[in-house]
Amino acid sequence: ELKVEQNPLFLSMQEGKNYTIYCNYSTTSDRLYWYRQDPGKSLESLFVLLSNGAVKQEGRLMASLDTKARLSTLHITAAVHDLSATYFCAVDNQKLVFGQGTRLTINP
């Protein structure tokens, strides 16, 4: 059974700092997704990573995928308050299996 683990589960950081969220998964997959969820809202797709070594960037967020290590990272550069949300990774194993989520709080 595929297991997807994120860490940290909670992250409080100051504006302007950099940090990385990690997503580890237990079985082979070539497709991984990152989603953002604001409180009381649905999931918004951020990145789709389709191959080993894939790197995608949008604004202050950058995601990468290492399929050999079964690891994806979501890097936040010079965080701003608007990035406060819960971030989920999801691995495609004929169905999406989600991690527990990382609740990110960015303080002024």
Partner 1 sequence: EAGVAQSPRYKIIEKRQSVAFWCNPISGHATLYWYQQILGQGPKLLIQFQNNGVVDDSQLPKDRFSAERLKGVDSTLKIQPAKLEDSAVYLCASSLTGYEQYFGPGTRLTVT
Measured distance CA(27)–CA(65) in Å, rounded: 14
Nearest to 29 by CA among 103, 99, 106: 99
Q: 76: exposed, middle or buried (C-beta count within 10 Å: 0-12, 13-18, 19+)?
A: buried
Q: Is 56 in the site for partner 1 (CB under 8 A)?
A: no
Considering only residues 27, 45, 52, 57, which one is a binding residue for partner 1 as defined by CB under 8 A?
45
Under the binding rule (CB under 8 A), the answer on residue 88 touching partner 1 is: yes
Q: How many residues in the shown chain lie near partner 1 by CB under 8 A? A: 20
- Binding residues for partner 1 (CB under 8 A): 4, 31, 33, 41-45, 48, 88, 90, 92, 94-101
